[in-house]
Amino acid sequence: MLYVNDIFYSIQGESSFAGYPCKFVRLAGCNLKCSYCDTKEALDIKNSKHLSISEIISSLYSIGGGNNIKLIEITGGEPLLQEDIFSLFEELIKLNYHILLETNGTISLKKVNKKIVKIVDVKCPSSGFSKEFNYENLKYIGISDEVKFVIGTEEDYCFAKDFLKANKIKTDKLIFSAVEFEGSISSKELADKILKDGLKVRLGIQLHKILRLK
């Protein structure tokens, strides 16, 4: 059983898969409370349904053209807080889903199946949780995985650059994404910084928000 905040069908908006139709399972509950969180409704389980694996699979089949769309993202909240997530992974793998896992990087990735694409968020200072990253997780990030930095300030940008310089990361799928809150660095400003410094990173833009999709 898993606490599920929402199950929906939309355009993948933030990863290297941006633009593709995708099914989403948003789990409830998080061990962080980031200052810029845009899914506060999923921070605890009070806004959730307690669903079995079969109920989740059934819901997924009912959206996105039934069995046609095979890209799925498990997000939150923080999905790895719930132990039964691994049972869901097993079932989705059996059903030949291409699985993306969005995780905040604080919980061990050791048990996550290598078939799953891990999108690991390294928290920058403006989040309030830049010291919470589990550095052991760098061992479990492979070439098909992604590492994301959400950047709101100059300090965040410098932190992200220093993190990449100081740590060996086995993927070149590195994403810098602007918070886009009032008073924070804009995507245009972030793009200018990336170009000026010649960083080999992808500028992440929340495509689903531009399109006004969930």
pLDDT tens by residue, 32-48: 999 888 888 999 999 89
Which residues, listed in sequence order, are joined to residue 176 by a DSSP beta bridge? 149, 203
| Surface-to-core class of residue 168, CB atoms within 10 Å of its CB (0-12 exposed, 13-18 middle, 19+ buried) | exposed
| Domains of the chain listed by start with CATH number | 2-210 (3.20.20.70)
Amino acid symbol at 197? D
Contacts for 183 with CB less than 8 Å, ≥ 6 apart: none
Nearest to 52 by CA among 93, 23, 24, 91: 91
Residue count (the chain):
214
pLDDT in tens, 54-94: 999 999 999 988 788 999 999 999 999 999 999 999 999 99
Rounded Cα gap, residues 105 and 92, in angstroms: 22
pLDDT in tens, 101-138: 999 999 999 999 999 999 999 999 999 999 999 999 99
